[in-house]
């Protein structure tokens, strides 16, 4: 009785706060126990979850043969050697713009998807959603479905409850450890690191990373769950700018469902209009964030569409048409509301929307490709495509051979005993393939000039064969000399040319040769 009085008092305070426009700054968490449902969207979520988790956990173990001089892990972020391997693609530090471009493409793609189908990313592929679904599978397996979990949560602490809770959280922690463990395998050879990790020979940073990711996965996915989506994630607060009247969102079609009634036959006998919603709360029971979609669009909705499956199942049992909750655009919803509203009384009558065949004549059942033909979506699509094409062209056109030259600063030139002038340079030749090769370094321009390469046993000349190791940069000390009859006062332009005669790759660096002004 005392608890009922306290709850009544809190409700009265909140009611008064709402009436005055003031809401409490804090509300205790209401636990959400999502009920399992079946349907097309639930099956699609299972498929997406299996694919995304499979990619995350299995990708580090895929092999890719790059030859004996390169790692054979298909996807590897090799921080020690400053490389990023993705199958046949090798990204160097100076090519990080490829990674940046992919991130920009992901951002634009997210804007495009949101403008078309709302928060589909949140509902299906967001890591928070995927791992929360995984934890819910474990929870249902141990504690049962919604009603069983509610009873267990409210019941006293018994041995059975303790056993189930401990078992559940042990599995949660194991999943979290596997999540953190899979992450570190992207940064080193997976089989080698797995052995070192198990035998306590791995670097400390590996154990630290697994510990941090284990904690965050367990805390965010197993404990906080929907609170991350509601309170922590910024995307619900941004998505409104991405939506318009032609964006598909999960919608309760109240033009068809209202007025709600549990006794349809009694309402018909009394001559009252009855909507298709029987107020069964199935849509609320399956919602992972615990909202009621019948209250309209809400920030907490992640567009997982499980409420559509739950409602369709109820409609099937009642022998009614599916689609009471469906994907719909605001423009279609507004059109249906106008058609279902009696112009004389202003009351909603679902019967006005039924065709001659007795089915609802609405516009919310099928995806309309006209949704894509809007300025916003066309702009997003164009931007996304152009970035992708630009990255692809840059990837196909890039050279795997580079040269960089640094002129000696002190002294900038040396006058030889015969009156000639010599300049010193540091020439850096970069071999960007996982194979050794011989690179020819030569001079272009600067008449009469010859060069000597320190460490290469070859007399002065204008071309040298330089062996370079795979995936390595070789720095060379090069001295360029010009005889007195060819020296011009001041600075003269010439070029260092590096060339692989087998692959026909070539790179040129324009340099300066300095001489006295007079």
85, 190 contact by CB (below 8 A)? no
The predicted pLDDT at position 8 comes to 41
The predicted pLDDT at position 367 comes to 53
The predicted pLDDT at position 30 comes to 84
3-state secondary structure of 27: coil
The predicted pLDDT at position 80 comes to 84
The predicted pLDDT at position 14 comes to 47
DSSP 8-class letter at 258: P
The predicted pLDDT at position 66 comes to 84
The predicted pLDDT at position 12 comes to 43
Write out the two tokens for 419. Answer: 């009156």
The predicted pLDDT at position 508 comes to 93
The predicted pLDDT at position 270 comes to 59
Q: Which secondary structure element, helix H or strand E, spans residue 171, and what is its range?
A: helix 159-184
Q: How far apart are CA 115 and CA 241, in angstroms?
A: 9
Which residues of the chain have a pLDDT value below 50?
1-19, 364-365
The predicted pLDDT at position 62 comes to 95
Q: Which of 109, 379, 116, 339 is nearest to 246 (CA)?
A: 116
- In the beta sheet, which residues pair with residue 406? 426
Domains of the chain: 2-239 (no CATH), 248-367 (no CATH), 401-515 (2.60.40.10)
The dihedral built from the CA positions of residue 330, 335, 338 and 339, taken in this order, carries a sign that is negative
475, 454 contact by CB (below 8 A)? no
Q: How far apart are CA 130 and CA 178, in angstroms?
A: 15
């Amino acid at each position: 009785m005392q608890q009922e009085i306290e709850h009544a008092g809190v409700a009265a305070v909140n009611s008064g706060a709402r009436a005055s426009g003031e809401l409490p700054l804090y509300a205790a968490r209401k636990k959400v126990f999502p009920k399992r449902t079946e349907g097309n969207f639930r099956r699609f979520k299972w498929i997406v979850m299996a694919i995304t988790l499979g990619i995350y956990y299995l990708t580090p173990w895929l092999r890719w043969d790059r030859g004996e001089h390169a790692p054979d892990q298909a996807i590897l972020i090799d921080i020690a050697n400053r490389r990023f391997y993705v199958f046949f693609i090798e990204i160097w530090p100076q090519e990080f713009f490829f990674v940046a471009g992919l991130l920009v493409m992901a951002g634009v793609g997210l804007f495009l998807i949101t403008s078309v189908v709302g928060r589909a990313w949140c509902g299906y592929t967001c890591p928070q959603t995927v791992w929360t679904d995984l934890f819910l599978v474990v929870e249902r397996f141990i504690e049962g479905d919604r009603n069983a979990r509610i009873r267990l949560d409210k019941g006293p602490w018994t041995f059975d409850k303790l056993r189930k809770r401990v078992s559940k959280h042990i599995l949660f922690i194991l999943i979290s450890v596997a999540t953190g463990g899979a992450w570190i395998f992207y940064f080193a050879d997976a089989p080698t690191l797995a052995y070192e990790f198990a035998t306590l020979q791995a670097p400390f940073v590996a154990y630290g990373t697994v510990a941090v990711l284990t904690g965050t996965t367990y805390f965010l996915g197993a404990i906080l769950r929907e609170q991350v989506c509601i309170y922590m994630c910024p995307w619900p607060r941004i998505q409104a700018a991405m939506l318009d009247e032609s964006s598909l969102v999960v919608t309760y079609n109240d033009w068809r469902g209202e007025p709600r009634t549990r006794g349809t036959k009694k309402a018909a006998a009394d001559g009252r209009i009855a909507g298709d919603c029987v107020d069964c709360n199935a849509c609320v029971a399956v919602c992972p964030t615990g909202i009621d979609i019948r209250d309209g669009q809400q920030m907490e909705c992640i567009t997982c569409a499980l409420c559509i499956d739950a409602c369709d199942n109820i409609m099937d049992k009642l022998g009614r048409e599916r689609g009471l909750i469906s994907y719909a655009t605001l423009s279609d919803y507004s059109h249906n509301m106008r058609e279902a509203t009696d112009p004389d009384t202003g009351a909603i009558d679902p019967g006005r929307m039924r065709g001659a065949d007795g089915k609802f004549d609405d516009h919310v059942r099928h995806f309309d490709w006209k949704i894509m033909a809007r300025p916003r979506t066309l702009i997003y699509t164009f931007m996304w495509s152009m970035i992708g094409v630009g990255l692809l062209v840059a990837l196909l056109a890039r050279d795997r051979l580079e040269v960089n030259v640094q002129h000696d600063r002190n002294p900038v030139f040396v006058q030889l005993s015969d009156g000639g002038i010599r300049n010193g340079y540091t020439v850096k030749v970069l071999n960007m393939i996982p194979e050794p090769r011989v690179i020819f370094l030569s001079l272009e321009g600067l008449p009469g000039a010859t060069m000597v390469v320190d460490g290469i046993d070859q007399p002065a000349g204008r071309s040298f064969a330089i062996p370079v190791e795979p995936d390595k940069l070789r720095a060379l000390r090069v001295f360029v000399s010009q005889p007195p009859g060819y020296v011009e006062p001041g600075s003269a332009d010439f070029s260092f040319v590096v060339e692989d005669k087998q692959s026909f790759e070539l790179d040129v660096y324009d340099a300066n040769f300095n001489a006295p002004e007079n």
